[in-house]
Amino acid sequence: MISFTLGKAQQAAREYAHSVAVEEMRPISLECDRTEKIPASFFWNMQRRFWGGAAAQARTQAQEEEEKQSNIFSLLSQEEMAWGDAALSTAIPGPGLAAPPILSQGTPEQQMRFLGPYMDGQLHWGALALTEPGTGSDVAGMSTTAVLDGDEWVLNGHKHYITNGARSDIVVTFATIDTSLGREGIRPFVVPKGTPGFIVGRIEEKMGLRASQTAELIFENCRIPKENLLSGRESSKKAGFKAAMGTLDATRPMVGSLAVGIARAAYETTREWVCEELPEGFAAYKRHVIEDELEELRQEIEMARFLVWRAAWMADRRIPNSKEASMSKAYAGGLVMKVTAAGVRITAPGENGERKQFLGKWFRDAKVFDIFEGTAQIQRLVIARRLFPEVDIP
């Protein structure tokens, strides 16, 4: 039975993440957005806070107390840190999006080999390379290839929009062993940084999440050991495609939680502005209209949060959650645009103070949440296929 009450360990994790957002993120948020750079001190502070000995031990104990509800713990932290700055939250050292496919498809030996170094006290990142030019959200249409040559796989192809792609120690790269097989040919491979033929292309210039690094990755006869194929959990022909989809089922609620965090920040800031800075002489009936709109937005933020929690709750219990993951991401992704746009509109009469600068930044940041991890159209397609399995939906 799902509970809407957080346990002590969950509440503690949420409060800790909020303190990180207040102390480490908000103070540098606008400057990092302006310069598109993050100071090295932030990375080291995050490594100490989340991967240092005491922090790692506390996180492990908390998860054990709550039956290792890793997805719930992650999204509680993600919402709070997105409240601080979503771009900075994506830049925190750690395996990141590389972790889900390694944990779900890797053997115990692979998990130790690829994830063990993240506990050595140094700065390490991980990334997931799935999206390609020309295919976008159509994972089954990917063209990056992997050919077995003796004891090595040879990768050739092009990935783009890869978060932390240029700084990551490992990149879990999805490629096809045979383009004629469609989704049945897809496999996940771990490509270490510095591998010959693994080339970092351009770093994208973006409208929002400007401090977050988004890279182009190119594979030109990139050779990796045969043992870097993640295939330890399932041997079916569709195992690779299922790994890709399973990763998205785990990460889409996380994206939804980031969107909820930004939406909450925008709602709170707009409400504060209305209470403290609304120009004198503003008509009472107009104020009431604004207050009613803000109350509706508050309710919708709560609804988005519960959709996210449900999807993560199911993931922690290994309950298939493709529909619920897509619902949470689609709803939260649309809502964050609605809330930030309302904030920019409502505060338009005021001077361009810090609150308005944050609202403008969050408005720009919000757009990508309707796009990455699968566009809103793709989410609706996933939902429709599961609501109407008897209908052949292309």
Task: Kindly state the average pLDDT of the residues 56-85.
Answer: 73
Full set of structural domains in the chain with CATH: 8-94 (no CATH), 126-234 (2.40.110.10), 240-387 (1.20.140.10)
Q: What is the pLDDT of residues 151-195, one digit of tens each?
A: 999 999 999 999 999 999 999 999 999 888 888 889 999 999 999
Task: Report helix, strand or coil for 155.
Answer: strand
Quick check: 61 pLDDT over 60? no
Alpha carbons within 13 A on the beta-carbon side of 88: 39
Task: Kindly state the average pLDDT of the residues 115-126.
Answer: 92
Nearest CA among 212, 255, 208, 258 for reference residue 365? 208
CA dist 301 to 17, 29, 158, 258, 361, Å? 19, 23, 37, 12, 19
pLDDT value of residue 55: 47
Q: What is the pTM of this model?
A: 0.91
Mean pLDDT estimate for the chain: 89
3-state secondary structure string across 198-219:
EEEEEECCCCCCCCCCEEEEEE
Least confident of 157-166, 224-233, 260-269: 224-233
Number of residues assigned to the chain:
394
Give the whole-angstrom CA distance, residue 53 versus residue 282.
54
In sequence order, what are the residues at sequence separation of 6 or more whose Cβ sits closer than 8 angstroms to the Cβ of residue 1? Answer: none
- The more confident residue out of 335 and 59 is 335
Task: Kindly state the average pLDDT of the residues 62-71.
Answer: 58
Give the whole-angstrom CA distance, residue 264 versus residue 243.
32
Quick check: 50 pLDDT over 80? yes
Q: Which of 66, 132, 324, 373 is catalytic?
A: 373
373 flagged as catalytic: yes
